[in-house]
Structure 1
């Protein structure tokens, strides 16, 4: 009869640091940890066979930064940092009291400190509808490109960054753009800036396209088929500016650009073709302003899906793009764990990126900041903030491990973001849309049609925010003026006089 304590159980892999998520926040976090602790094993758990790495990073000014994003196979990260081990699997469950995660492969990993960087998922207007597509990661972007190639008309719903890029980039397909706001791009700029940009929707695009200065996707040592199978059904890393570069966003029609905007409306109902033909809505399918005495039977064709808007108009289309924002991807981690959540559903983090549970941090789109922010900063789920949060979370984990004090990162002092819309460089600084200022502010504007749009937000003689569209070369000067909070009352409108070099004022 056998004696002893029985068969040995397999040893559970242990790591001082474990990070979940292969997007910018997660990869930035593990890279910083691997550098700080070069002899320790750092684990990165990601559902995707590719990660998003920051390359060509450039500090433009004290708070503005530019970088490219490169999509790389997981083993490229392991080769660059020998102490990083990438586990390709989704997380099935977090056992926070045991300091353990369980992957979908039913493998357990024990951690001392965990950082959740699992990003967000599309907030689809309709779930489980084959004609509603959310564009969130590289797989869904590839699916969109494939479906667009056969499309003659699509409906885009939403007014954020992805919607703005789509309506400008798509050719060979009619676009119906439904937005709930009075003006386009409400997330990023005001109605004046929107009016400045609108002519670009009907203008001829430059040939060849202007060189992109930021995020570029390079599929390094990874095949599309591999991504499609391994990442199927999973929430992938977010898309950022210029995700469409290198993709042919062309539909099936011989036309260059045709966009029709429906303002102040949302989707009320959708109908599949058969449902629509059996409904009482057929006579409404063509708004009076566009129908020219037509009805659905005399249209060029029947459409696979129909959209009824809250303004009463109905459009048929090949498919619908839901570009209506994201929801923090917290679901895999909630079961059995009492996380404090923000109003937007994200994991609440304090000023050291701690969640409400011991030894668990969060960064990027999955988290919601709960500290009292600088008067000039606000959280937005953008790639620049994902990189900053991932870097700072690693810094906090290191300080906590070594028992060292830490100061809040300077990147949280002033909101600063540079991007590109309609082929214009766009810089957003501070309270660029007068967020939280109510009516207690004034605006100063300068606009040269087709070249630049400059807006500054002033309060009591001090600059609190700015929107710069075009090659203005004002970003560093305005950043300093906002950070220094200098009283600018005596300069008046000279601040925006194009004939005066305002940098001379502040040398």
Structure 2
């Protein structure tokens, strides 16, 4: 097979890249290779500012992409080798694909603790792993969640009717995204049962199953997108009980063996036990490892590509150290002169942005056109939802890169909103906006423009002043 553009990976980055190429260059052949018959498509994009977007992620059969774009061919197969010299790709079913430009969007795989050591330890990363989790929790009375990122936070909120032990290495919850103040704002939401009945919208996500190819334990599905938990049943067996106990500033020391368990004086005799670094031994029905991800960069034939932090190193064009091979999303590491207010994180928003920009780069370079780096790399933005609240993160939202040399302007209205502005030398550097604040566009502009705000002082967050009027 021959194609001008080939993309490996059916996640958000890969599909966004393929769709953008189909728009930019509809006359060229595009091949998307996905190990799953399910692909992730970004829909319902709502702009909240110049670089801030809110969107949904739908999971569809790969055939829907082909029916929408005549120039795209989707192959449900596994890549076994890439030959950058001859510019060919070999798949497990014997297909050989010739390419002119290749984009690797293989994402990342869950960094599961004690992987394959115990069937009662599962990771959360893709739809298949959540489906496994959903089946296991139906009969569970007590579980342990390990990790303090976005998926762990969403799990804690969405799980019902179960006793939860949350093991985190930080001093406060959700430390990847929020500070101790915001953690305190969310604290009383930990044990509240999620109100599933209040959500009346029709969900169009996760209604398909992967049936076109054989499952195997090593197959990695596409990463979860926003609202991934809405379609899954994640209720335990303890009716109307939700108790969350947090073990702060500790990690898992070891997994207890069967001999260790037999020696324990525990009447319950749980299926699995762990020992924490604080000395506690805790048993449960099963353990959820939500301890981050590692880039999935084990494609054969391109082992000599330069890597940073296990991710494919990419320049400002998202091109790797091998000519005509690009990378986007969780599998790559930015290696250019990064803007002051942008940071790379493994998030679906950045996967979408990188996928679209990689398409622009591949298209422009194939046509020998001049182009400039996308404006989205000027400012870090992320829109998500924690504990039922809209959360907008902008710029250096936790004071990253500032060496603790900054001021914080803070306003909190209990159970309604939490607003934190990062100020240095009178200029806004970042913001955390929780709740329906309607301040995201103003904060975005102030960070990008670097306007001196010294004259306004604490009036920036005075609830009696409509600060947007100042910067209309």
TM-score range, shorter-chain basis? over 0.9
In structure 2, stretches of 5+ residues that fail to align are none
Residues 465, 230 of structure 1: alpha-carbon distance in 2 compared, 3 angstrom cutoff: same
Is the 8 Å Cα contact of residues 47 and 231 (structure 1) preserved in structure 2?
A: no
Larger Rg: 1
**1:38 CA displacement:** 1.7
Any conservation in 1 of the 2:392–2:434 contact (CA below 8 Å)?
yes
Give 1:169's match in structure 2, choosing from 144, 158, 176.
Answer: 158
Equivalent residue number for residue 464 of structure 1: 429
For residues 296 and 262 of structure 1, the distance between their equivalents in structure 2, rounded to whole angstroms, comes to 20
CA deviations 1:357-408 (Å, max 9, x no partner) are: 0100000011000011110000011111101000000000011011111111
Please, which of 391, 398, 411 is the counterpart of residue 446 of structure 1?
411
- Residue from 349, 353, 370 that aligns with 1:405: 370
**TM-score, normalised relative to structure 2:** 0.96
1:178 is aligned to 2:144: no
The residue that corresponds to 1:296 in the other structure is 266
1-structure distance, mates of 2:186, 2:130? 25
Aligned equivalent of 1:341: 307
Aligned to 2:148: 159
**CA displacement at 1:176 relative to structure 2:** 0.5
Which residue is equivalent to 1:234?
219
Displacement, 1:218? Answer: 2.0
Identify the residue that residue 122 of structure 2 maps to in structure 1.
133
Distance, in Å, in 1 between the alignment partners of 2:404 and 2:430 is: 15
Does structure 1 retain, via aligned residues, the 8 Å contact 2:206–2:231?
no
Which residue of 2 is the match for residue 218 of structure 1?
205
Q: Is the 8 A contact 2:56 2:226 kept in 1?
A: no
TM-superposition CA deviations, 1:63-107 (whole Å, max 9, x none): 110111111111111010111111101111111122111111132
Q: Assess if the C-alpha contact under 8 Å between 1:16 and 1:40 holds in 2.
A: yes
Aligned equivalent of 1:191: 180
Residue 256 of structure 2 aligns to a residue in which SS? strand
Matched residues in 2 for 1:263 and 1:361: separation? Answer: 40
Question: Which of 51, 64, 69 lines up with 1:76 in the alignment?
Answer: 64
What does residue 361 of structure 1 align with? 326
- Cα 1:351–1:212 change in 2 (3 A) is farther
Structure 1, 85-94 or 195-204: larger mean CA deviation: 195-204
Q: CA deviation at 1:255?
A: 3.1
CA distance 1:204–1:148, change in 2 (3 Å): closer
The answer to whether the aligner puts 1:259 opposite 2:225 as a matched pair is no
Q: What CA distance in whole angstroms lies between the structure 2 residues aligned with 1:399 and 1:350?
A: 15
Q: Number of aligned pairs?
A: 471
CA contact (8 A) 2:390 2:435 kept: yes
Query: For residues 154-189 of structure 1, what are the alpha-carbon distances to aligned partners after superposition, in whole Å with 9 as ceiling and x for unaligned?
Result: 111000000001111111111100000000011101
Instruction: Work out the CA distance in 2 between the residues paired with 1:189 and 1:211.
Output: 29
Task: State the Cα deviation string for residues 108-142 of structure 1 (Å, max 9, x = none).
Answer: 21111100001110011112121211111111110
Q: Matched residues in 2 for 1:53 and 1:239: separation?
A: 11
| Gaps in structure 1 of 5+ consecutive residues | 1-12, 283-294
- Indicate conservation of the 8 Å contact 2:36/2:213, yes or no: no
Q: CA 1:231 to 1:42, structure 2 compared with 1: closer, same or farther past 3 Å?
A: farther
Q: Does residue 325 in structure 1 map to residue 292 in structure 2?
A: yes
User: Given that residues 95 and 337 in structure 1 are in contact (C-alpha distance below 8 angstroms), is that contact kept between their aligned partners in structure 2?
Assistant: no
Q: Is the 8 A contact 2:205 2:231 kept in 1?
A: no
Once the two structures are superposed, the pairs formed by residues 475-486 of structure 1 within 5 Å of their partners are 475-486=440-451
Which residue in the other structure is 1:147 paired with? Answer: 136
Output one character per residue of 1:302-321: Cα deviation in whole Å (capped at 9) or x when no partner: 11110110100011111111
Superposition deviation, residue 204 in structure 1: 4.9
Q: CA deviation at 1:254?
A: 1.7
